[in-house]
Each structure stands twice: as structure tokens, then as C-alpha cells.
Amino acid sequence: MPEDPIDHVDFTELNKKAISQPLVSHIYTADPSAHVFNGKIYIYPSHDIENDIPFDDLGSHFAMEDYHILSMDTPDSPTVDHGCALHVKDVPWADKQMWAPDAAEKNGTYYLFFPAKDHQGIFRIGVARSSSPTGPFIPETEAIAGSFSIDPAVFQDDDGAYYMYFGGIWGGQLQRWRTGSFKAEGEGPLAHLPEKNEQALCAKMARLSDDLLSFTETPKDILIIDENGNPLLAGDHERRFFEASWIHKYNGKYYFSYSTGDTHFLCYAIGNNPYGPFTYAGRILEPVVGWTSHHSICAFEGKWYLFYHDSSLSNGVTHLRSVKVTELIHDEDGYIQTIQPYKKQ
């Protein structure tokens, strides 16, 4: 997909073909993490803002500063913006770039998990708490010990255990942690990526402590394998992990879904436990207008829904995106039907 702006697209016609419309249009929102709390849908998105930062491979133009929580009574009802729930200026350890968050609930307390660059320019993952799903959220004074990179997604299993999945390459800095410690900038924006014939970098995961404020283990790789049991390679850009981890459970199986980044697909893989390995199973969503693709999957009243974003409202400006929702269907064998974001005429 092209960078921003997209000059040759007729956005009036594109929006007529879109299978869904932005949930809110008064602000730009992206990277939606949707959950059902107390019978209602709450969405925890990024809040995109206009800026003059040039497009680059590190995502510097994604300069988000705060989080707004959205809610819906049903997937078809109006969406409510509950205002600013957390601002970067209120997080002692964070400097900038409040990227894709997630949320969880335990014993009546709501937890907002979020990445941001610290004052040394390194992405860490923080957590904030509230008595309400809409905040305001009070952040911990330090990032989660041992956390790094971006895109936290927290999954509660049936046994009550909570796991965090995270990571993103390129601007998400995951490749800079290959040796276990951070390698600073200096060799180019995409330094330290594996070669095309090497195993692709993996998302990370770790079980969370009982208070959801720390890891109980050293983060582990989420291995995605092909139909022959071989790990996906770094050169397999149409299937390998890039960013945007998500986990949902369906008929006893664990579905790890993610974005392929520079090829703009949402893909998924299926495993038998939260740690994987996960076998690649196909695409969830074909490319949308805009460079990024980031999502969540949520069940509500017996149906499943895909929350995602595109840049149609901003006429294709990459860093000004809008959250959307559409139904997601698992077929009788458990595979997800691939979704086309725009109807073909």
C-alpha cells in the first residue's frame, strides 16, 4: 500500500465500498483492543494526532500522546468517547509515542497496558490502574521490569492465568533485543534484522503476576510454524510476524493473530496452548488503505467481531486512522473466513 497521502484514490467511492464506517469521526483512533466488561464493549485504541513529522521506517510520525476509551452497548450501537483516560505527561518514566494499548480486568480493577518510549528512546511497556473501565487510569511510576518493544496484548485463559503478548519489528525495536540487551541506533533504522533465509523474529510472551504488574518469567518466543512444522523465515513477508499480537480462544484452540507490517495483512496461526507453537492458518483481513494494520478479536452475545482500522477518513494519511468493526466468522473446521475490507463491484 502507498505511503501518505494517497493521491490517486477516490475516497468518496472507497467509503461507499467499505464494509464498515469509522466508529468515531471527531478524533482519529487506531489499534483497537476490544473487550466485553459487564456486558458492554469497551475499546482501547491509540489516539492519532496531526503533526508535521516526516514519514519514516521507524514510525516517528506516529506521535500519539494520550488514550481515549470508547464504548458501545452493542456492535451496532453508537460509540461513546469517554475522553482522555491517560496522558504521557502523567507517566513518570515515559517520554513520547503512546502506541497501541490493551486492557484487562481482575477483581473489579481495570488495567491499561501501554507502550511508550522512555527518556532514553527505548520502548518499554507500562501499566496503569482504575476502578472504572473508562478511567482515568493511574500509572505505575516505572515500566514493567523486563519489558521492551511495543503492542502489549493481555489474554486471560480459562484457568484464570493472565499472559502478555508483545513485540514489533522495525520502529518497534524488537530486532534490537536479539542478544537480550538493547542495541542502540546507529547502523540504520532497520539494523539487526535477520537475513531472509534466517528464522523470522518472534513475538514475545510472558505470564503476568497475580497483581498484573510484573512478569513471572523471562519473555519467551511465540513461534509460528508452517504446515511442515518449520519456523517461518524472515524473508516470508506475507506470513511472518511484524507487530500487533492478539490472542483469542475458540473451541479449545488458541488463535494467535498479528500484522505482517510491510505487506499489510492480518494473519493468524493456531496452537494448543498459550505458549505455542502456532501453525500458520491464513489471513483474517486483506490490506486496508493506510500503511498499518492492527486489530483485536472479541466475542459478544454469541458472535465474533474484528475491530480494525484504516485511513479512509483522513484521505489516506498513514498516521491518521479510524477504528472500525465487522463480524468475524469461524468456519465449521475452525478456520477464519478472510475478510475483504472493501466490496468489489
What CATH number should be reported for the domain holding residue 216? 2.115.10.20
Is 164 among the domain residues? yes
The amino acid sitting at 297 is I
d(CA 343, CA 345): 6
Q: For residue 313, what pLDDT is reported?
A: 94
List the domain range (segments joined by +) for residue 136: 11-328
Is 5 among the domain residues? no
Q: For residue 4, what pLDDT is reported?
A: 42
Enter the C-alpha cell of residue 162: 493472565
Is 176 among the domain residues? yes
- Got the DSSP string for 147-201? --SS--EEEE-TTS-EEEEE--SGGG-GGGGTTSSPPPS-S-TTTTPPPTTSBPP
Which residues share a beta bridge with 322? 310
Q: For residue 188, what pLDDT is reported?
A: 73
Is 137 among the domain residues? yes
Q: Decide: residue 167, CB within 10 A, 0-12 exposed, 13-18 middle, 19+ buried.
A: buried
Please tell me the number of Cα atoms within 13 Å of 158 on its side-chain side: 8
* Whether 166 contacts 202, CB under 8 Å: no
How many domains does one find in the chain?
A: 1
Is 2 among the domain residues? no
Is 335 among the domain residues? no
β pairing state of 278-285 and 224-225: parallel
Model-wide pTM > 0.75: yes
Out of 48, 102, 151, 243, which one is annotated catalytic? 243
Dihedral of the alpha carbons of 230, 235, 241, 243, in degrees to the nearest 10: 170
Active site annotation includes 31:
yes
Is 333 among the domain residues? no
For residue 251, give the H/E element and its range: none
Out of 4, 31, 48, 151, which one is annotated catalytic? 31
β pairing state of 220-222 and 203-207: antiparallel
> Residues near 148 by Cβ (< 8 Å), separated by ≥ 6?
122, 123, 124, 125, 173, 174, 177, 182
In 10 A of CB 205, how many CB atoms? 24
Q: For residue 171, what pLDDT is reported?
A: 95
Enter the C-alpha cell of residue 298: 472479541
Active site annotation includes 10:
no
Is 97 among the domain residues? yes
Q: For residue 12, what pLDDT is reported?
A: 87
Q: For residue 345, what pLDDT is reported?
A: 66
List the chain residues with pLDDT less than 70: 1-8, 185-187, 345
Enter the C-alpha cell of residue 194: 535477520
The DSSP letter of residue 193 is P
